[in-house]
């Protein structure tokens, strides 16, 4: 049994831990993309994101495990999607830190934390003379959650603590938790934009969601509202978002994931004080990495004992 560890995402020490825990398995490190085709050729299991060249080189592959939640790096390979090789992921460990990050961005935007940090760095006490009447309260506002999966639900629980009214759009609107006032189908995305003081993007990036928050839908949002992008870039049209903020229609945005990463230096989002940018880092806690390692360990035990795998993704749906 050969298992290729094709990424350092789970930590360099992980392969040693696996070798100790599963002495009958041959674990092979192939951390660079260039190493994948040779390593995967006779592998049974691949942990990571094999590209098309690597996947086509595989002769006996039986399982691919994505160490994160999103499988979009795998579904761009049509042969992976068409194959009967299962793809699993680690759907839980990222949820809480990402939801925390959403709330952090909301507070940072409404209480001008970016500007205060700059003041602190230069030893300037702005006080009431500078900040009087310049903050906004989150409590009592309306949040729209685009994608009511695990992240969206965790965001909703936190937003409910701020006495917000919460609406959502999701393909499965019948499964809304108590914290959400109403959950609509995806055909009511326009309505979600209209009611939102805060539009939080928690949807996966698939064909149906790509640029689904475009200039037209941003124009539907209330004047002075905000957008937070926490799941994947490419769902919000970033040029349209920058235009809506520059024009004053939107008050600002929190952006943790962008369509091209790193965010290009010529992106108009960089120059906007009203935008809080983080480098796709919202989930990166020690608990996240240990949770993702345990997800693979647990599924590897099941694989070796012939039990059904957990967290099997729908490759054609994209999640």
Same domain assignment for residues 129 and 100: yes
Give 171-193 pLDDT, tens digit per residue: 987 779 999 999 999 999 999 99
Task: Give the pLDDT of residue 284.
Answer: 96
Residue 65 has pLDDT above 80, yes or no: yes
Same domain assignment for residues 272 and 260: yes
Task: Give the pLDDT of residue 172.
Answer: 84
Same domain assignment for residues 57 and 144: no
Task: Give the pLDDT of residue 173.
Answer: 79
Give 74-123 pLDDT, tens digit per residue: 999 999 999 999 999 999 999 999 999 999 999 999 999 999 999 999 99
Q: Give this prediction's pTM.
A: 0.90
Give 186-236 pLDDT, tens digit per residue: 999 999 999 999 999 999 999 999 999 999 999 999 999 999 999 999 999
HSE-up of 42 (CA within 13 Å, CB side)? 5
CA-wise closest residue to 151 among 228, 54, 48, 36: 228
Report how many domains make up the chain.
Answer: 2
Cα separation, 257 vs 231, whole angstroms: 7
Q: Helix 95-110 to helix 113-121 angle, to the nearest 10 degrees? A: 70
Total residue length of the chain? 319
Cα separation, 86 vs 126, whole angstroms: 57
Classify residue 190: in a domain, yes or no: yes
Same domain assignment for residues 210 and 157: yes
Residue 35, preceding peptide bond in cis (omega within 30° of 0): no
Cα separation, 162 vs 156, whole angstroms: 10
Same domain assignment for residues 186 and 54: no
Residue 261 has pLDDT above 80, yes or no: yes
Give 10-62 pLDDT, tens digit per residue: 898 999 999 999 999 999 999 999 999 999 999 999 999 999 999 999 999 99
Task: Give the pLDDT of residue 149.
Answer: 93
Task: Give the pLDDT of residue 175.
Answer: 77
Same domain assignment for residues 114 and 203: yes
Give 117-171 pLDDT, tens digit per residue: 999 999 999 988 899 999 999 999 999 999 999 999 999 999 999 999 999 999 9
Give me the sign of the Cα torsion angle 155, 159, 160, 166: negative
Classify residue 120: in a domain, yes or no: yes
Q: Structure tokens of 11?
A: 């930590």
Q: Structure tokens of 301?
A: 């035990």
Which amino acids are annotated catalytic? 232, 261, 280
Domain that holds residue 111: 95-277
Same domain assignment for residues 255 and 120: yes
Same domain assignment for residues 291 and 200: no
């Amino acid at each position: 049994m050969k298992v290729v560890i094709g990424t350092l995402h789970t930590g360099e020490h992980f392969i040693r831990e696996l070798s100790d825990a599963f002495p009958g398995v041959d674990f092979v490190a192939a951390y660079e993309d260039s190493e994948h085709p040779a390593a995967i050729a006779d592998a049974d299991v691949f942990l990571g994101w094999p590209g098309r060249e690597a996947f086509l080189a595989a002769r006996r592959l039986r399982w691919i495990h994505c160490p994160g939640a999103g499988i979009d790096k795998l579904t761009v390979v049509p042969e992976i999607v068409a194959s009967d090789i299962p793809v699993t992921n680690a759907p839980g460990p990222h949820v809480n830190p990402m939801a925390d990050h959403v709330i952090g961005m909301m507070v940072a935007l409404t209480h001008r934390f970016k500007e205060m940090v700059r003041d602190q760095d230069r030893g300037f006490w702005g006080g009431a003379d500078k900040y009087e009447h310049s903050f906004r309260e989150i409590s009592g506002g309306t949040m729209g959650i685009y994608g009511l999966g695990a992240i969206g639900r965790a965001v909703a629980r936190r937003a409910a603590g701020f006495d917000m009214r919460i609406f959502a759009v999701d393909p499965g609107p019948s499964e809304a938790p108590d914290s959400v006032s109403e959950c609509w189908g995806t055909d009511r995305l326009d309505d979600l934009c209209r009611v939102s003081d805060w539009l939080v993007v928690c949807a996966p990036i698939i064909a149906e969601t790509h640029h689904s928050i475009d200039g037209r839908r941003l124009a539907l949002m209330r004047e002075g509202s905000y957008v937070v992008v926490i799941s994947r870039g490419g769902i919000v049209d970033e040029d349209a978002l920058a235009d809506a903020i520059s024009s004053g229609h939107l008050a600002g945005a929190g952006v943790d994931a962008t369509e091209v990463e790193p965010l290009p230096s010529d992106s108009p989002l960089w120059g906007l004080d009203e935008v809080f940018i983080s480098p796709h880092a919202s989930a990166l806690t020690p608990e996240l990495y240990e949770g993702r390692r345990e997800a693979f360990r647990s599924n590897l035990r099941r694989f070796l004992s012939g039990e059904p795998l957990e967290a099997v993704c729908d490759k054609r749906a994209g999640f």
